[in-house]
Structure 1
Amino acid sequence: MKLRNKLFIQHTITIIMLLAAMYVVVNYTLSKSMIERDTQTLSQYYDLHRIEALKIVNDKKISIEQLFSGTYAPLIASHLAANSNFQVQLFDPEGTIIGDSGNREDLVKRSDIDAALAGQTATVITEGENSKMLIYASPFLYEGKIVGGFRYLLDLNKHEETLSAMRTWFIGVALGCLLVALLASYSFSFFIMQPLHALQQALKLVTVGDFSRKITVRSQDEVRELADDFNRMSEALQEHIELLHYEQSKQKKFYDNVTHELKTPLTSIIGFSDLIDKMERIDDIRTCNVYIRKESTRLLQMVEELLQSSLKGDEAWRVQLERTDLAAILTDSLRILEPTLHKSAITTVVQVEPCEVYMDPKRTQQVLFNVIENAIKHSDCTQLNVRLEQQEYRCLVRITDNGKGMDEEETRTLFHPSAEKAERPVSAHSHGLGLLLCKQLMELQGGDITVHSREGSGTEVILSFQMEPVRPLGLLQN
C-alpha cells in the first residue's frame, strides 16, 4: 500500500473516531443536563406543593394525617397536577400510594418511596415497553416527623424525541464534515507526496553513485527542510566519498598505530589472567578481576577514540585538565603493568611522594603506558627506576632503565613523525605513534617530555607536569 493511501486511511479513521467521540460526549451531556434540569424543576414544584398542602390543611381545618388519607389525597394529587406536564402521587407512612392524578401506578418501582420514607430525596428513571419515566420522590416532614410523601412522574418520551432529532442532525452534519475533511486530506496528501516522489527518484540516483540531483521545494515547512537536508546530505556524501578515497591510502599506517596503542591493555589483561591461575587467595583473584575489568574498559574507550582519530588524520583528541594526585596515577599504572614487568623479568624501584598537578588523568596514564612499555620491549633492561619529585612549580617523573640505550641520531629522531624517518620495517628499535603521541599529549597538558640516552648506558625519560593551572589547547590535531 502506498504512503498516500495510508495517510488517507489514517486520516479517515482519525476523523471518524473524533466524530464518534463527539457524538457520545454530546449525547451524554445533553441527556444528563436535561435530566438534571427536570429534577431541579420537580424539586422546586415540591417546595411549592408543600406550601400549598399546608395551606389546605389550615384552610380546611383538617389534620395532617387526614391530608395523607384516602379521602383527601386523591383530590389533592389532582389539584396539584393541574396545569402541569407530570403526574402527582401521594403516599402514606406505610408506602402505600393513596392519591394519584394519573394511571401510571403499574410501572412504578418502590425503591424511591422507601428512600423517601427514610428521609432522603430519591430520583429514579424507569423504562417500560413504550415509555420512559423520571420519578422524583420526597418525604413530607411535619413537626420533625415523616407523615408521608409526594411523588412526581415525568414522561421522558418528549426528551427522547428531542435527543433523537439532535442525533439525526448531528449525524448529518458529521457526515458532511467527514466528506469535506476527506477531500481536503486527499488533496493535501497529494501535495505532500509530490516532493517525496522527487526525493524517491533522487535516492535511486544516489544508490548508483550520482549525487548531482537536487530537490527544490517552494513551501516553507518540514518538507522543505527534508529537501534541504537531502541536498546537504548529497553534498556531504560526495565530500565523504572523496575523503574516503584519500583515507584508504593511509589505512595500513593507521592500523599499525592502532595496534601499538592496544597492546598495553591487552598485555595487562593477558598478564592478570595468567596470574589468576596461579593464585589461591580470593582477595588476590578479585584484585586481578578489578584490573582486568578496568583495562577492558580502557581498551574499549581506546578503540572508540582511535577509530575516530589518528595522528595522520584530520580528527582531534581533547584533553580535560583537573587537579589530580600524580603519585596515584603513577602507582596505578605500574600496578596494571606489573604482570608484563614480571613476565619480562624486570624489577622496579619506585620512589613517589604525593604531588598534585593539573593534568588529564586518562591521557597521562596513556603516556605512562607508552613510555614504560617502550622500556620493556626495546631497551633489553633488567631494572626500571621510577621516581617522582617536586621542583618549584612542577612535578617530574623520571623513568630510568639499565638497558642498551640509543645512539645520538636515534635519540634525536624519536619524536619525529614516521614520514620523516628512514623507511624501515618495524623492529625492536622502531618508534611509531607511541612517543610522538606522548609528546603532543604532554604539550597539550602544559607539560613536556624529554629523553636522555647513551648507547650502552641505558635511557632516562623525564615527564614534566605543571602544578599551577594552565590553559589547555584542548585539541590534538594532525
Structure 2
Amino acid sequence: MKVKYIYQQFISHISIIVVAFLILSLLFTHYVETLVYKNKTEELIAYGDNIWRDLQRGSERPEQIINQYARVLFSRDIQFSVFDQNVQLLNPIRWRGPAIEFTEKEWRMLNEGQPIVMKYDLKRYDEAVTLVALPFIDKGKFIGGILLTSPISGAREMIAEINKYLFYTVLIALAVAFLQSWLLSRIHVNRIKKLQEATSLVSAGDYTVKVPSSDFDEIGELAEDFNRMVSKLDESKAEIESLENRRRQFMADVSHELRTPLTTISGVIEGLKNDMIPEAKKERGIKLVSKETKRLIRLVNENLDYDKIRSNQVQLIKEDIELFEVFEIIKDQLDMQAAERNNTIIIEADDSVMVHADYDRLVQILINITKNSIQFTENGAIRLKGWMDGHRTHIEIEDTGIGIQPEEIEKIWHRFYKADISRTSNPFGEFGLGLSIVKQLVQMHEGKIHVESEHGKGTKFVIELPFR
C-alpha cells in the first residue's frame, strides 16, 4: 500500500502530540491530586494537634474548646469529632458523618500512638475526602482521639480546567503540525522527485545530470553522493569508450602486424618449397622468416604477460641485485638496436648501488623502458642512472628524443595506447603493451614510477623501489 509522504509526516507528528498530551494529562492529574491531598492532610493534622494542645492546657472547659473549633472548622467544610478510648463522641455538636468505625488494624495503630491518614469516599457531595485520625496519648496510655475529614475541594475542577486548556493547546499544535508536515513534505518531496528524475536520466544513459546538493540534511548528502556517483560513471564511460577505441585501434594494428609477417613467412616458405628463390637468397629468406616469427612471438608474449600480471598470477622472487650489472646487461642487449638509430647508451651508477627486486622482472622493466626510449630517440643518448637514498633505490632512464605531449603523459600507461600510432612497424614495443606492463610490475614491487617529459627535448622515466 502506497502512503504519501505528507500523510506519513502528519501521522508521525499527530501521534507524538497525542501521546504527549495523554502522558502529560495523566501525570498532571496525578500530581495535582497528590499535592492537594498532601496539603489537606497537613492542614487536618495541624488542626488536630492544636485541638489536643488546647484540651491539654485546660484553660477552658473541653466543651467550650470543642465548640469554638467546631464553628471555625465547619465553616471551612471540615468535620471533626473527639472520641474517648471507647470511641464515644464527646462533641456537643452532632457529627454529620458516618459512624466512626475502625478496623482491627487501625484500632491497633491508634492504641500504639500512630495516626491514620487516608483517602476515603464518604459519598458526600459525591467526591473524595481526606480522613485523619489522631490518637491522644497520656502517660503512654491511649485515652481517645480526634477524627477529621474534609473534601478535596477544587482539585477535580482545577484538573478539568487545566485539561481544557491542554486540549486547546493540542488543537493548536495539531494545526501547526499539519502546516509543518505539509510544508516539509512539499520541500522534501520536490527534492526526492529531482533525485528520482535524475536517476531515470542516468538509467537512460545520461551521466551529465546534476542535482542540487547541500550538507544541511541527509537528503542533501544523498544528492552530493549521487553527483559523485554520476561523475564517476561519466568518467568510467569515457574510460570505457577510450579503452574501446584503443582496443579497436589495437585490433587494427595487430591485424596489420600479423598480416605483414604472415604474408612474408607464407611467401618465403612457398618460395623455398617450390624452389622459386635462388640459392644465394635462401639464407636471407630464412632470416626474414625468423625475424617475422619473433615479432609474432613478442605480440603473444606481451599479451600473456599483461593478463598474468592483471590476474596476480606472477610470483615475485625478490633478492638483492647490483644495479650496475643489470645496466650492463641492458646495454649489451640493446646496443645494436640503439646503434641502428645512431643512439648511445650511457650508464651512470656506482657499483655499490643495490636494488631489492625480482631479477627477471627488473630486467623486463628496464628493457621495456629503454626500448621505448630508443624507439623515440634518433642521433641521441639514453642514460641509465641509479643511486640509493636511505632505504629506497632510485632509477632513471633519460633520453634526448622527441618527448611526449603533456596531455599524452598519463595515457602512455594505458593498455593498447601508443604515443605515436603511425609507427606501427617499429620493432620495439610496437603493440602498445610495454609501458602498461612496466607500471604493473613496478606496483607489484611496491614501488612508484612517473614520467617527466618536454616535447622536443626528451623524456625521463623515474622509478623508486624500496630496499627491504
1:7 to 6, 9, 24: 9
- CA distance 1:215–1:96, change in 2 (3 Å): farther
In 1, the alpha carbon distance for the partners of 2:142 and 2:34 equals 31
- CA distance 1:411–1:199, change in 2 (3 Å): closer
Structure 1 counterpart SS, 2:154:
helix
The Cα RMSD (Å) is 4.7
Match of 1:92 in 2: 84
Conserved? CA contact 1:89–1:97, under 8 Å: yes
Please state how far the C-alpha of 1:93 moved relative to its aligned partner: 3.6
1:137 to 128, 133, 138: 133
Aligned: 1:104 with 2:106 = no
1:160 to 148, 156, 159: 156
Opposite residue 256 of structure 1, the aligned amino acid is K
Match of 1:126 in 2: 120
Partner deviation per Cα, 1:416-475 (whole Å, 9 max, x = no partner) = 569978799xxxxx999678734739x97741xxxxxxxxxxxxxxxxx4xxxxxxxxxx
- CA distance 1:445–1:115, change in 2 (3 Å): farther
- CA distance 1:209–1:112, change in 2 (3 Å): farther
In 2, the alpha carbon distance for the partners of 1:103 and 1:88 equals 9
- CA distance 1:415–1:122, change in 2 (3 Å): farther
What stretches of structure 2 of length at least 5 have no aligned partner?
248-302, 322-351, 373-427, 432-436, 449-462
In 1, the alpha carbon distance for the partners of 2:438 and 2:208 equals 45
Opposite residue 309 of structure 2, the aligned amino acid is N
Conserved? CA contact 1:139–1:146, under 8 Å: yes
In 1, the alpha carbon distance for the partners of 2:137 and 2:309 equals 101
Partner deviation per Cα, 1:284-320 (whole Å, 9 max, x = no partner) = xxxxxxxxxxxxxxxxxxxxxxxxxxxxxxxxxxxxx
Conserved? CA contact 2:36–2:152, under 8 Å: no
In 2, the alpha carbon distance for the partners of 1:398 and 1:207 equals 47
Kindly report which structure 2 residues correspond to 1:42-57, keeping only aligned pairs within 5 A, or say none. 42-55=44-57, 57=58
In 1, the alpha carbon distance for the partners of 2:77 and 2:153 equals 12
What stretches of structure 1 of length at least 5 have no aligned partner?
61-66, 265-365, 372-392, 401-405, 425-429, 448-464, 466-478
Please state how far the C-alpha of 1:88 moved relative to its aligned partner: 0.9
Please state how far the C-alpha of 1:78 moved relative to its aligned partner: 3.4
Structure 2 counterpart SS, 1:105:
coil
- CA distance 1:159–1:209, change in 2 (3 Å): same
Partner deviation per Cα, 1:336-374 (whole Å, 9 max, x = no partner) = xxxxxxxxxxxxxxxxxxxxxxxxxxxxxx7559x9xxx
Structure 2 counterpart SS, 1:119:
coil
Partner deviation per Cα, 1:260-302 (whole Å, 9 max, x = no partner) = 45x87xxxxxxxxxxxxxxxxxxxxxxxxxxxxxxxxxxxxxx
In 2, the alpha carbon distance for the partners of 1:76 and 1:411 equals 119
- CA distance 1:440–1:221, change in 2 (3 Å): closer
In 2, the alpha carbon distance for the partners of 1:206 and 1:252 equals 37
Structure 2 counterpart SS, 1:103:
coil
Opposite residue 121 of structure 1, the aligned amino acid is P
1:81 to 73, 93, 102: 73
In 2, the alpha carbon distance for the partners of 1:107 and 1:186 equals 64
Match of 1:413 in 2: 364
Please state how far the C-alpha of 1:10 moved relative to its aligned partner: 1.3
Please state how far the C-alpha of 1:255 moved relative to its aligned partner: 5.2
Match of 1:178 in 2: 174
Opposite residue 440 of structure 1, the aligned amino acid is G
Please state how far the C-alpha of 1:153 moved relative to its aligned partner: 0.7
In 2, the alpha carbon distance for the partners of 1:166 and 1:54 equals 45
Conserved? CA contact 1:90–1:97, under 8 Å: yes
Structure 2 counterpart SS, 1:137:
strand
1:240 to 207, 214, 236: 236
Conserved? CA contact 1:91–1:149, under 8 Å: yes
Please state how far the C-alpha of 1:80 moved relative to its aligned partner: 6.5
Kindly report which structure 2 residues correspond to 1:280-429, keeping only aligned pairs within 5 A, or say none. 412-413=363-364
2:165 to 164, 169, 176: 169
Q: TM-score, normalised by structure 2?
A: 0.51
1:437 to 415, 433, 444: 444
Match of 1:38 in 2: 40
Please state how far the C-alpha of 1:152 moved relative to its aligned partner: 1.5
Conserved? CA contact 1:202–1:213, under 8 Å: yes
In 2, the alpha carbon distance for the partners of 1:432 and 1:444 equals 12
Please state how far the C-alpha of 1:193 moved relative to its aligned partner: 1.9
- CA distance 1:446–1:183, change in 2 (3 Å): closer
Look at both structures and tell me which one has the larger radius of gyration over its CA atoms. 2
Structure 2 counterpart SS, 1:59:
coil
Please state how far the C-alpha of 1:398 moved relative to its aligned partner: 12
Conserved? CA contact 1:95–1:113, under 8 Å: no
In 2, the alpha carbon distance for the partners of 1:26 and 1:113 equals 35
Query: How many pairs are equivalent?
Result: 302
In 1, the alpha carbon distance for the partners of 2:145 and 2:97 equals 17
Please state how far the C-alpha of 1:94 moved relative to its aligned partner: 5.2
Conserved? CA contact 2:317–2:358, under 8 Å: no
